[in-house]
């Protein structure tokens, strides 16, 4: 469920929702979930894809002001944002690397 909300929010708000004119509402994806559960998943998803995660890209490129190694940065990202699949983390990591090049 958390991954579904992440992808709905990510592609609607970050990537192609406006371009294709097809915003996805997590409520529509999870009609049986309570409003609180959906709201929590939306908040966690937004924090993951738009939070202060640039340290992952900085660590990948070994920026001088980044103290974490890339492996430590990825572990921190996962630890600070638990419950998502490996595929979701890969999307966020790729975004951070692209953003820091």
At 6-55, the pLDDT tens digits run 988 888 877 555 555 667 788 888 889 999 999 999 999 999 988 788 99
What is the rounded distance in angstroms from the CA atom of residue 92 to the CA atom of residue 85? 11
Report H helices in 17-81. 17-20, 26-29, 35-50, 54-60, 70-80
pTM of this prediction exceeds 0.85: yes
**pLDDT recorded at residue 26:** 85
What is the rounded distance in angstroms from the CA atom of residue 15 to the CA atom of residue 34? 27
């Amino acid at each position: 469920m958390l991954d579904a909300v992440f992808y709905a929010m990510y592609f609607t708000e970050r990537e192609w929702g406006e371009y294709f004119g097809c915003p996805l509402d997590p409520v529509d994806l999870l009609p049986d979930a309570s409003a609180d559960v959906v709201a929590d998943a939306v908040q966690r998803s937004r924090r993951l894809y738009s939070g202060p995660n640039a340290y992952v890209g900085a660590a990948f490129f070994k920026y001088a002001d980044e103290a974490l190694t890339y492996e430590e940065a990825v572990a921190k990202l996962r630890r600070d944002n638990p419950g998502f699949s490996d595929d979701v983390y890969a999307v966020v990591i790729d975004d951070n690397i692209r953003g820091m090049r």
